Amino acid sequence: MALGLIYVDADACPVKAEIYKVAERHAMRVQVVANSFIQTPRADWIALTQVGDALDAADDWIAERAGPADIVITADIPLAGRCVKTGAIVLAPNGRLFDENSIGLALATRNLMTDLRAAGEQTRGPKPFTPRDRSTFLSALHEAILRLKRRVSP
pLDDT in tens, 84-115: 999 999 999 999 999 877 766 566 665 555 66
Q: Which of 46-50, 104-108, 116-120, 125-129 has the lowest mean pLDDT?
A: 104-108
pLDDT of residue 42: 95
**Choice among 7-21, 35-49, 114-128 with the minimum mean pLDDT:** 114-128
Of 88, 85, 82, 84, residue with least CA distance to 68 = 88
**pLDDT at residue 11, as a whole number:** 86
Global pTM? 0.86
Top pLDDT among 152 and 39 is at 39
Task: Please give the Cα distance from 90 to 96 (Å, whole number).
Answer: 8
* CATH number of domain containing 84: 3.40.50
- The residue segments making up the domain with residue 44 are 5-152
What does each C-alpha distance from 74 to 7, 33, 111, 141 come to in angstroms?
9, 11, 17, 12
- Of the candidates 2, 146, 5, 23, the one whose C-alpha atom is nearest the C-alpha of residue 66 is 5
Phi, psi dihedral angles at 6 (to 5 degrees): -100, 115
Contact 16, 7 (CB under 8 A): no
Alpha-carbon span 151 to 34, nearest angstrom: 28
Average pLDDT score over the chain = 89
Q: Is the pLDDT of residue 135 over 70?
A: yes
- Pick 129 or 34 by higher pLDDT: 34
pLDDT of residue 82: 94
User: Residue 116 has what pLDDT?
Assistant: 57
Which of the four pLDDT bands, split at 50, 70 and 90, describes residue 127?
A: confident
Alpha carbon distance 72, 78 (integer Å): 13
The mean pLDDT of 107-128, rounded to a whole number, is 66
pLDDT tops 60 at residue 150 = yes
Task: Please tell me the total count of domains within the chain.
Answer: 1
